């Protein structure tokens, strides 16, 4: 059994990613691949629903940082939703909560894209 499974779907132009398990050096390629699929389709509004994410290591954080400039340059953003306490603490300790908007629910993250022009960026 894999340490990570990533499902994805699209809703109203927003790509929803559902990582389940651990994002680490051994599994990050799968996570990166799902993000890249959205970018290859020129879809730059991305919500990562972290409800099933048990842990994210530096490799996973690096995957997010590796694409955020391209995403924001194209008028989109990566938003995070439904983080458990462990994952939230990782983001906060490393200051990622200042770089990415974090929402209590997937619905709130999706709705945050409505009515935005270019950018979006951090700052909740």
pLDDT tens across 7-31, in order?
A: 999 999 999 999 999 999 999 999 9
Lookup result for tokens 């939703």: 81
60-104: per-residue pLDDT in tens? 999 999 999 999 999 999 999 999 999 999 999 999 999 999 999
Phi and psi, residue 47, nearest 5°: -120, 125
Residue 1 has pLDDT above 70, yes or no: no
Domain boundaries, the chain: 4-111
| pLDDT confidence bin for 110, thresholds 50/70/90 | very high
The Cα 76–Cα 122 span in angstroms is 11
Tell how strand 4-11 and strand 53-56 pair up: unpaired
Residues with Cβ < 8 Å from 10, sequence gap 6 or more?
Answer: 16, 43
For 27-44, b where at least 16 C-beta lie within 10 A, e where not — what string?
bbebbbebbeebbeeebb
Q: What pLDDT shows up at residue 37?
A: 98
| pLDDT confidence bin for 124, thresholds 50/70/90 | very low
DSSP 106: H
Q: What pLDDT shows up at residue 116?
A: 67
- Average of per-residue pLDDT values in the chain: 93
End-to-end CA distance of the chain: 37
Q: Contact 77/103 with Cβ under 8 angstroms? A: no
Q: What pLDDT shows up at residue 85?
A: 96
Residue 115 has pLDDT above 50, yes or no: yes
| pLDDT confidence bin for 118, thresholds 50/70/90 | very low
What fold, for 4-111?
Transcription Regulator spoIIAA (3.30.750)
């Amino acid at each position: 059994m894999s340490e990570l499974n990533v499902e994805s779907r699209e809703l109203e132009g927003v790509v929803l990613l559902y990582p389940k398990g651990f994002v680490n050096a051994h599994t990050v390629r799968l996570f990166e691949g799902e993000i890249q699929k959205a970018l290859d389709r020129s879809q730059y509004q991305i919500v990562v629903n972290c409800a099933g994410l048990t842990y994210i290591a530096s490799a996973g954080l690096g995957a997010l940082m590796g694409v955020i400039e391209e995403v924001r340059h194209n008028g989109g953003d990566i938003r995070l939703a439904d983080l458990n306490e462990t994952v939230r603490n990782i983001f906060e300790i490393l200051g990622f909560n200042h770089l990415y908007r974090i929402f209590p629910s997937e619905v709130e993250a999706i709705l945050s894209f409505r009515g935005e022009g270019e950018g979006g960026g951090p700052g909740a």
